[in-house]
Amino acid sequence: MRFLVELLATLVIALALGLASAWYMVDAPRIGLGVGAWQAVPAISSATADPYTRARIARTGEIALGAGEGLVFFADGDDRGTAFDGACDYSVSGETPTARLWTLAAVDRDGRLPAPATGRISLTSREILRDLDGRFTVTVSASARQGNWLPVEPKGAFRLVLRLYDTPLALSPGNGMTMPQIERGACR
């Protein structure tokens, strides 16, 4: 009797541990480079993709950037590690690694884009306003702001997605990488 109970408990624990760890690894990219609040999505190519990446793509159906195409970073919180909240303003400032083009967008945790009144849902390096020394500041806020403004929904968590196109970083990530800083401003 004792044997049966122990066997059953072991099986249940094994199943729960195995499935939970598999879910954790497949749910979001966990292996990759992190800089400050930013986490790089490892470059994806059919020749080198690991089983976790294969499973994630099969599950979400997402179209990832190719290895030679560029690199995607995402951030779920500011530099202090506090999760983003639509009730607060955030400033994303500094510079990005070298890239011919970059785009910045905000999505919710399921990857959906917000529906702001202005219709603007992303910023690109071509249209952004910069200082004389090439640095920029983007204000992420639910209400209109001067300068570079990226709207988000006024409630709930969100994720910033920075896509770098045609960057040498895609081939050798990590070398002298400078990512924009993310700081929290006023909250409502």
Partner 1 sequence: MIRSLVWMIGAILLAGIVHIVAVIGVPRFAVVDPWREIGAIANDEVFTRLPRAGPGGKTLPGLDPAMTHSVCRFSLDRGPMRLRAEVADAYWSLSLYDRSGLWVWGVDNRAAEQKPIDILVATDVQVAQLRETLPDELEDVVIVDWPGREGFAIYKLLVPTKSQEAETEQILATAKCGVAQFR
**Sites of contact with partner 1 (CB under 8 A):** 6, 9-11, 13-19, 21-23, 25-26, 44-47, 49, 51-55, 57-69, 100-101, 103, 105, 111-115, 121-124, 126-127, 163, 165-166
Q: How far is the CB of 128 from partner 1 (least distance, A)?
A: 12
Name the nearest CA neighbour of 107 among 71, 145, 159.
Answer: 159
Query: Given CA atoms 144, 85, 37, 47 in this order, what sign does their dihedral have?
Result: negative
Residue 43 or 179 with smaller CB distance to partner 1: 43
Name the nearest CA neighbour of 156 among 88, 104, 90.
Answer: 88
Residue 101 or 185 with smaller CB distance to partner 1: 101
Q: How far is the CB of 124 from partner 1 (least distance, A)?
A: 5
Q: How far is the CB of 20 from partner 1 (least distance, A)?
A: 9
Residue 38 or 52 with smaller CB distance to partner 1: 52
Amino acid at residue number 42: P
Largest distance between two CA atoms of the chain: 77
Q: How far is the CB of 47 from partner 1 (least distance, A)?
A: 8
Give me 145's structure tokens. Answer: 């702001």
Cα 72–chain centre separation: 7
Residue 58 or 185 with smaller CB distance to partner 1: 58
- Are 188 and 87 within 8 A, CB to CB? yes
Q: How far is the CB of 162 from partner 1 (least distance, A)?
A: 11
Find the helix or strand (DSSP H, E) in which 12 lies: helix 2-27
Residue 80 or 118 with smaller CB distance to partner 1: 118
**Between vectors from CA 169 to CA 38 and to CA 181, what angle results, nearest 5°?**
30
Residue 9 or 185 with smaller CB distance to partner 1: 9
Helices 51-60 and 2-27, interaxial angle, to 10°?
80
Q: How far is the CB of 170 from partner 1 (least distance, A)?
A: 11
